[in-house]
């Protein structure tokens, strides 16, 4: 595709499926992978008379990358689907805790242009969505342009590090997979401290008056997600409603663990997160 402006010689390669995209990326490794709208791209100098031919690969015509699909066992989310579009399509099907996290991740005007893949790859805004995906046991389906026929799944919590996305050269996220499960309780809260937003997310399922699944996570800008599976597992099979004394006991255990292991948080943040944990248990 050649840009209509005579001063800009810009060719786009526009594959229409994942296999074609990976093959094009492999064959044209020096080309720019451009996720912007074709009508808004401007990466070279329009005024330079000797502007060289610019080439880019545009994945916007690959339906798989911008789709939301649901089967009996899982949801599949394309990384290029915009947040507001995902909220609209998934309003009645996606887990409520993910809907809340997506809503809180950015203002409405930003959500119009921000993709789910962009959110989870950006260290400073991924905390709420990343934490929600973590407790939902989400996995990223990854493929590499060097091995176009090979796809593999990685738990999303293992994929991201403090400074960003932990992908090898040539790898890209094709889908985000979330196992389908009914949840009876969802909890979301956040606190700001020193221009940093810290998020507490939790969800639980019940069966015959007892807790069958209980998961919670804390997301902090630029840091890995905090999960405490020992406490989560300890709450499974707890009869409901939880007696106040038992809630106090678990809250004390959480407080002792948290203040000992996560000393980088200020006393104010620690106290707030302990209160959030207590409130989460109280809602079960």
- Which range among 52-56, 147-151, 185-189, 218-222 shows the weakest confidence by mean pLDDT? 52-56
* Segment 120-137, tens digit of pLDDT: 776 666 678 888 999 999
Q: What is the pTM of this model?
A: 0.84
Q: pLDDT at position 124, please?
A: 62
Q: How far apart are CA 59 and CA 14, in angstroms?
A: 6
Q: Positive or negative CA dihedral for 121, 123, 125, 128?
A: positive
The dotted CATH code for 185-282 is: 3.30.390.50
Statement: residue 41 has pLDDT above 50: no
pLDDT of amino acid 225: 81
At 126 the pLDDT is 65
Could you tell me how far CA 284 lies from the centroid of its own chain? 25
Which tops the pLDDT comparison, 27 or 249?
A: 249
pLDDT of res. 48? 47
Between 167 and 59, the more confident residue is: 59
pLDDT at 79 over 80: yes
Upstream peptide bond of 241 is cis (omega within 30 degrees of 0) = yes
Give the pLDDT score at 168: 77
Closest-CA residue to 78 (of 113, 116, 112): 116
So what's the pLDDT on residue 9?
A: 55
The bridge status of strand 54-57 relative to strand 32-33 is parallel
Res 69 pLDDT > 70: yes
pLDDT in the model for residue 36: 61
Residue 261 CA: distances (Å) to CA of 4, 189, 197, 255, 279: 58, 21, 20, 10, 21
For the chain, the domains span: 10-57, 63-179, 185-282
pLDDT tens sequence across 231-243: 999 999 999 999 9
Whether the predicted pLDDT of 38 surpasses 70: no
pLDDT digits (tens, 9 = 90+) for 172-197: 889 999 999 889 999 999 998 877 88
Question: Average pLDDT for residues 6-18, to the nearest whole number?
Answer: 72
**Per-residue model confidence (pLDDT) at position 53:** 52
Residue range 63-179, CATH number: 3.30.465.10
> What is the per-residue pLDDT for 165?
66
């Amino acid at each position: 595709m050649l840009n209509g402006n005579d001063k800009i010689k810009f060719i786009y390669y526009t594959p229409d499926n994942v296999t074609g995209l990976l093959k094009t990326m492999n064959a044209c490794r020096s080309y720019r992978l451009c996720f912007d709208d074709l009508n808004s791209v401007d990466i070279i100098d329009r005024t330079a008379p000797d502007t060289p031919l610019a080439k880019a690969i545009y994945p916007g015509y690959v339906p798989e990358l911008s789709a939301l699909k649901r089967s009996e066992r899982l949801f599949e989310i394309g990384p290029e689907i915009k947040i507001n579009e995902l909220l609209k399509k998934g309003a009645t099907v996606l887990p409520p805790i993910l809907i809340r996290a997506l809503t809180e991740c950015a203002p409405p005007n930003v959500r119009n242009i921000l993709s789910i893949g962009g959110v989870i790859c950006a260290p400073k805004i991924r905390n709420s969505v990343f934490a929600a995906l973590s407790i939902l046991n989400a996995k990223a389906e990854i493929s590499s342009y060097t091995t176009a026929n090979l796809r593999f799944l990685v738990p999303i919590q293992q994929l991201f590090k403090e400074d960003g996305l932990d992908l090898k050269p040539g790898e890209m996220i094709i889908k985000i997979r979330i196992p389908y499960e009914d949840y009876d309780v969802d909890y979301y809260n956040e606190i700001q401290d020193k221009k940093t937003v810290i998020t507490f997310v939790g969800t639980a399922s019940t069966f015959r008056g007892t807790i069958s699944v209980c998961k919670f996570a804390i997301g902090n800008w630029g840091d890995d997600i905090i999960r405490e599976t020992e406490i989560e597992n300890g709450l499974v099979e707890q009869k409901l409603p939880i007696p106040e004394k038992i809630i106090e006991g678990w809250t004390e255990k959480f407080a002792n663990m948290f203040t000992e292991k996560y000393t980088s948080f200020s006393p104010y943040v620690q106290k707030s997160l302990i209160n959030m944990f207590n409130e989460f248990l109280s809602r079960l």
